[in-house]
Amino acid sequence: MDQATNSSSNSLPEAVRQLRREVLWTASREKQVTSYVDLQSSAFDHEVRGFHLLETLPDGRRIRWMSTRADFLLKVGAPSLNIEVRSGVVQNVLTVLVQGNEVKALQLTFEWQSAEIDLRPYLGREVRVELRTSGVLAAPGDSRELSAQVARLSTGSGAKVAAADDDDGMPKQRSPHQGAGWCHPPLAELPPFSHDVSPQIGAASYSVAPSSVLLAVKFFRPFDPTSEEMLSMARLLRQSGFRVHLAAEEVHESFLQHISSLDDLTAQVREENGILILHHGTSWDYGKRLMQHSRARCKMLRYHNVSKSETFLKYPAGYLEPTIAGRFETTDLIPHATHLTAPAFSALGDLLACGAPPEKLLHLPFLHDLEKLDELQLGPVPVELLRSSASLKILVLGRQLPSKGLHHCLAALAHYRRAYGDGISMHFVGARNALHERYIQELELLVDEHALAGMVTFTSEVNRTQVASWLRHCDALLTMSESEAACIPIFEAGWFGKPILGYQCGGKTEHAGPGQLLFESLDPALHAAAWHRLVQEPELRITLGALAWQHVREHFGTAKIHARFMEVIRLISAGRS
């Protein structure tokens, strides 16, 4: 078993362990996503892929909680793979696939059973093995809870399991972000894990400053705040004389030019006099291992908030599972980071709740270039706004996902129509994903059910110039998302002097400033009443917009934020907390 995994799991606070149980249980009731895999064989020296929790039972056994889909790579050195399995639920089936081909289907019972998988056709090769189960967990406290879907895997020899990276040449599960225009550049092989790699916070200042930086993120794409922050970091670091390398697992072809060569990345992960900055906002197996195994003396975890899993329970697992795994990985990453940064004080609180030592925390606002919005060519007024005769035209800007709370927006709009009439319009602008076709259909049903067609528009394809035009010509920005660290549309709306409306969570108030109409409630009546006041008092709209304009320039101006980033780099380079 990987020493790094053992160390991080044994040090988890009990409150965090209980939180993980509750999240998994909540998810399993709706999605059937949780099963257990117990890896006791020394042949399995690396964790299998999937979201998981490693627990030590009173009798010393180690239980690994998994999703119903577990993938791993097996370097075949034995003629067979033996699986011992039992189930804590009825009507449960285990399916085993090798290289994508089903080789065994076993009806599970409450008693131990054994299945042997013939590996002779694959001797000497590295193959992908997949386990699929169909059942859910028993309820918390049930006597069967710790025996649900337990599989003991052994090979009878020293075969080695490696994590399922994306550079192995084998077919992969499609992610929500894959499709035309996406690339998968090779990722550097990581050096062995060592407890002696990372220095301790508070050690004496280093005599030689780091000269190189590795920036890593899972998804690297245009119009993505995390990706663009990484580019801003790279530019500032290069201007300050650092050698900078960028690594990502899934890259849009238009951003491939920014990714470093495999040779450069391989050298960088072994560079001891360097800095690693890992951007974390979702599950990423390679990123977790990079934080554990990198030889860099300074390792910054850049925490971007992991969306609340509960908002995805009804929808395809392509988004649900990464959010659950991402929340688990946050606690796994913390022990291996020398410094932890987040763009909002509320996000630093999330890290504290995950067991982060306070001395590791640094507040680092989101890096942006808001001034570039002024440099964009003036675009035409969006036709949807031109056609609207509403007194208040509200913009909802961002990806159209369940976590963004678009259904809350429509619920409040429906209440407004019943209570005050049709004096406002609401315009949803942002990218859609095929995984959430069901969610979009639900939004359309809400529009029909409440007769909102004349008050609502949806726009899914926009470029930078069009986004700026929407911001210039709308009357207010609405955000009803339930989980945010840095809500970028708030910065952008404030830059154009627009009032900020919606649900308060995370860093929204910190970034919107005082006086904005953000409430710690999703009550449709409350939000509808606030909007109606803006309709009745246009001068209030001007006042709130001026406050937002002043706040974003005073506290989040580009020069100030960039200076803060370089200050943080100097602090961690000196080995200071």
> In this predicted model, what pLDDT tens digit does every residue of 121-170 receive, in sequence order?
888 777 777 777 665 433 333 333 333 344 456 665 444 333 333 333 22
Domains 212-364 and 378-559 share a fold: yes
Q: How high is the pLDDT of residue 319?
A: 66
Strands (E), 195-326: 212-220, 243-252, 274-280, 298-303
| Domain at 50-136+144-154, CATH homologous superfamily | Proteinaceous host-selective toxin ToxA (2.60.40.1920)
Percent of the chain with pLDDT over 90: 45
Question: What is the C-alpha R_g of the chain?
Answer: 25
First to last CA, the chain: 31
Q: How high is the pLDDT of residue 154?
A: 64
Between the alpha carbon of residue 214 and those of residues 210, 293, 296, 562, the distances in Å are 11, 13, 9, 18
Q: Does domain 212-364 have CATH number 3.40.50.920?
A: no
Give the model confidence (pLDDT) of 181-190 as tens digits. Answer: 778 888 888 8
Annotate 468-502 with DSSP letters as a single string: HHHHHH-SEEEE--S--S--HHHHHHHHTT--EEE
Q: For residues 546 and 531, what is the distance between their CA atoms, to the nearest angstrom?
A: 17
Q: Decide if 279 contacts 216 (C-beta within 8 A).
A: yes
Q: Decide if 422 contacts 416 (C-beta within 8 A).
A: no
Between the alpha carbon of residue 184 and those of residues 39, 48, 256, the distances in Å are 30, 21, 9
Where do the structural domains in the chain lie, given as residue ranges?
50-136+144-154, 212-364, 378-559
Mean pLDDT of the chain: 78
Q: For residues 559 and 568, what is the distance between their CA atoms, to the nearest angstrom?
A: 14
Neighbour count for residue 236 (Cβ, 10 Å)? 17
Supply 40's token pair.
């006791």
Q: For residues 237 and 222, what is the distance between their CA atoms, to the nearest angstrom?
A: 20
378-559, CATH topology level: Rossmann fold (3.40.50)
Going by their DSSP bridges, the two strands 34-37 and 62-67 should be labelled as antiparallel
pLDDT band at 543 (very low <50, low <70, confident <90, very high): very high
56-71 b/e (C-beta count within 10 Å ≥ 16 → b): eeeeeeebbbbbbbbb
- What's the 3-state SS for 224-259? CHHHHHHHHHHHHHHHCCCEEEEEEEEEEHHHHHHC
pLDDT band at 291 (very low <50, low <70, confident <90, very high): very high
Q: For residues 571 and 388, what is the distance between their CA atoms, to the nearest angstrom?
A: 52
Torsion from C-alpha of 534, 539, 543, 544, nearest 10 degrees: 10
Give one word for 169, left, alpha or beta, with left for phi > 0 and alpha for psi -120 to 50.
Answer: left
Q: How high is the pLDDT of residue 316?
A: 61
Q: For residues 248 and 576, what is the distance between their CA atoms, to the nearest angstrom?
A: 28
Using the predicted structure, report yes or no on whether residue 326 has a pLDDT greater than 80.
no
Q: How high is the pLDDT of residue 78?
A: 76
Q: Decide if 502 contacts 480 (C-beta within 8 A).
A: yes
Describe the crossing of helices 3-10 and 317-333 by its angle, rounded to 10 degrees.
80
Mean per-residue pLDDT, 316-339: 79
Residue 286 CB partners (closer than 8 Å, separation 6+): 163, 165, 166, 187, 218, 249
Using the predicted structure, report yes or no on whether residue 329 has a pLDDT greater than 60.
yes
Q: For residues 568 and 552, what is the distance between their CA atoms, to the nearest angstrom?
A: 21
pLDDT band at 484 (very low <50, low <70, confident <90, very high): confident
Using the predicted structure, report yes or no on whether residue 322 has a pLDDT greater than 90.
no
Between the alpha carbon of residue 389 and those of residues 392, 412, 470, 472, 532, the distances in Å are 9, 20, 16, 17, 16
Give the model confidence (pLDDT) of 23-78 as tens digits. Answer: 444 444 333 333 333 333 333 323 333 333 333 444 444 434 444 556 566 777 77
Q: How high is the pLDDT of residue 106?
A: 82
Q: Tell how far CA 452 is from the center of its chain.
A: 33
Supply 27's token pair.
């998810």
User: Whose CA is closest to 285, among 73, 39, 104?
Assistant: 73
Supply 200's token pair.
């301790």
Going by their DSSP bridges, the two strands 298-303 and 274-280 should be labelled as parallel
Mean per-residue pLDDT, 246-270: 93
Mean per-residue pLDDT, 326-342: 89
Q: Which residue has the higher pLDDT, 43 or 500?
A: 500
Q: Name the amino acid, one letter, at 452.
A: L
